[in-house]
Amino acid sequence: MTDRRPGPPVELVRRLATAGGAIALAHYGHAAPLGDDALAAARAAAEAYLRDRLARLPPGVPVVSADAVQERHESAHQWWCVDPLGGSAEFLQRTGAFTVDVALIERGRPVLGVVVAPAWGRAYAAARGRGAHRVDGDGPPVPIRIRHADPRRLTVAVGSSSERPPAADLALRLYMGGVRVTSRRAGSSLPFCLVAEGAADLAPRAAQTPAWGMAAAQAILEAAGGRLTDLAGRPLAYSMSAPSAPAIVGSGDPDLDWHQYVSAPVQATSLAPPPPVWAA
């Protein structure tokens, strides 16, 4: 018999993730410099809350996070993938661009995803077959959708400083192909959400990125009409025992052929160097 439980309403999961974000935000503070102790306390408190609440929706679905892999549940067809505080550098540097990410995985694919940026008062959420939306503060859900890309003028979304090299490499390749490139910065999984809402066209991410923070954003991006794939164009699949993702690209417009810019190494050129890509 197939183990297939109905998923909970995405609005309910969004409220739980928002509450988890508020718990993490309580450790964020406004005065004293943040350190690893504050980060660990925020992560532990948010994770404890989310584990307790998600374990009831519906009961029996395993809850797996970056800090507590449960390989004994590897055969489960459904499981919760949780990153209780994505974007450690952003949390410590007080940029506000850290997130709480919750995804429901079904047979290796995310079918529901919520990304909450508590310091920004913003949430993104999606469920398979129900589209994607953004919520600001106490406002109503607003549907979001990827945008049509102008192949000569593209916006690349990038995360933390550790993710800038792959984004800079892609921007250089685009520039050398005659594309005018601007950038949007956002931490954790937020670059993929920017693509989902039509604020950016591409969001590259380096190899060995923890998969825990990708699943929710993938559900949102796919529901908004985009894709999150490896460099060969294959959608990501998730396993409890494989917590790292390969090099990936979040893309919006399906007609945009970004593969041509990552399929070959950058060659020497007589072109003038590109303008600073991080200025935007």
Bridge-based pairing of strands 109-117 and 132-136 is: unpaired
Q: Element (H or E) spanning 136, and its range?
A: strand 132-136
Instruction: Report DSSP letters for 29-69, one per residue.
Output: -SSSPP-HHHHHHHHHHHHHHHHHHHTBTTBT--EEETTB-
Q: Are 250 and 227 in contact (CB under 8 A)?
A: yes
Distance between start and end Cα atoms, the chain: 53
- Neighbouring CB atoms inside 10 A of 202's CB total 27
CA pair distance 93, 185, nearest whole angstrom: 14
83 is in an annotated binding site: yes
Find where tokens 């990125």 sit: 209
Q: Which of 273, 270, 262 is nearest to 174 (CA)?
A: 262
Q: Dihedral sign for Cα 151, 155, 156, 161, please.
A: positive
Q: Which residues of 21-55 are buried (b: 16+ CB within 10 A; e: fewer)?
A: bebbbebbeeeeeeeeebbeebbbbbbebbbebbe
Q: Residues comprising the binding site?
A: 83, 85
Q: Residues comprising the binding site for Mg(2+)?
A: 83, 85
